[in-house]
């Protein structure tokens, strides 16, 4: 059966073996990377390291990142408030303020982040009042924008867009409640209206690494 062997960036010794084996079966070989690598070497004036696996090298940072991602998943949406004591950052706010995406983004920066939803009918866990306020960040949003986001969310779920979840009165009640809780905590509050997750995360990381007091 006719065929061809295609390979990329293998060690010289392995390349020789591959070509010899291919010759036994009269199979042509195609090296798709070496010509490109040689051209880049001429342009950059640097020799390749010739070490396999460098692109996917697993280092200490990789394990920190995986641990942070697992933490964000485990302590997402207030699933286990007891665990947030161990978080580097705790995010609080009403539904649909991008708490989960923010925590996952922070996790990829090796920050252990958990989040707690603030709902008027449910008392906030006592743990958030035990955590130093500089490790807590609150998210808020303009009512009109939140109404739009929640309405679209209901449509996505196939639910009636006029449910209480997306009504102005309900949204104002939740935001007012969340504001009071954040005031009690004394945490820094970020308005995420029209902000990308990356923007919010950048501000959180700035505060985190500077060690500033979020409550000021």
Size (the chain), residues: 216
From first to last of its 216 residues, the chain has per-residue pLDDT tens of 456 655 555 566 777 887 888 888 888 887 777 787 788 888 989 887 777 666 666 778 889 999 999 999 999 999 999 899 999 999 999 999 999 999 999 999 999 999 999 999 999 999 999 999 889 999 999 999 999 999 999 999 999 988 999 999 999 999 999 999 999 999 999 999 999 999 999 999 998 888 754 444
Which CATH code of 3.30.70, 3.40.50, 3.50.50, 3.30.2000 fits the domain covering 60-210? 3.40.50
Q: How far apart are CA 138 and CA 183, in angstroms?
A: 10
Query: What is each CA distance from 36 to 25, 40, 133, 149, in whole angstroms?
Result: 27, 6, 53, 47
Four-point Cα dihedral 198, 199, 202, 206, nearest 10: -170
According to CATH, where is 3.40.50 located in the chain? 60-210
Q: How far apart are CA 129 and CA 2, in angstroms?
A: 70
The set of residues, in sequence order, having a beta carbon less than 8 Å from that of 117 and lying 6+ positions away, is: 77, 78, 92, 93, 94, 95, 99
């Amino acid at each position: 059966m006719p065929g061809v062997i295609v390979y990329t960036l293998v060690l010289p010794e392995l390349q020789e073996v591959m070509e010899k084996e291919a010759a036994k079966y009269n199979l042509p070989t195609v090296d798709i990377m070496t010509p490109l690598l040689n051209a880049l070497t001429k342009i950059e004036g640097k020799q390749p390291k010739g070490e396999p696996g460098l692109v996917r090298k697993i280092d200490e940072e990789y394990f920190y990142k995986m641990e942070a991602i697992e933490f964000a998943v485990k302590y997402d949406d207030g699933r286990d408030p007891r665990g947030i004591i161990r978080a580097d950052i705790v995010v609080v706010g009403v539904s649909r303020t991008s708490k989960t995406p923010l925590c996952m983004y922070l996790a990829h920066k090796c920050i252990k982040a958990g989040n707690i939803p603030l709902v008027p009918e449910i008392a906030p866990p006592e743990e958030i009042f035990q955590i130093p306020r500089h490790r807590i960040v609150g998210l808020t949003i303009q009512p009109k924008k939140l109404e739009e986001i929640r309405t679209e969310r209901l449509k996505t779920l196939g639910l009636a867009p006029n449910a209480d979840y997306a009504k102005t009165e309900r949204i104002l009640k939740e935001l007012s409640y969340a504001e009071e809780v954040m005031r009690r905590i004394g945490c820094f509050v970020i308005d995420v209206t029209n902000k990308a997750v990356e923007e919010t995360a950048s501000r959180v990381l700035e505060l985190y690494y500077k060690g500033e007091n979020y409550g000021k």
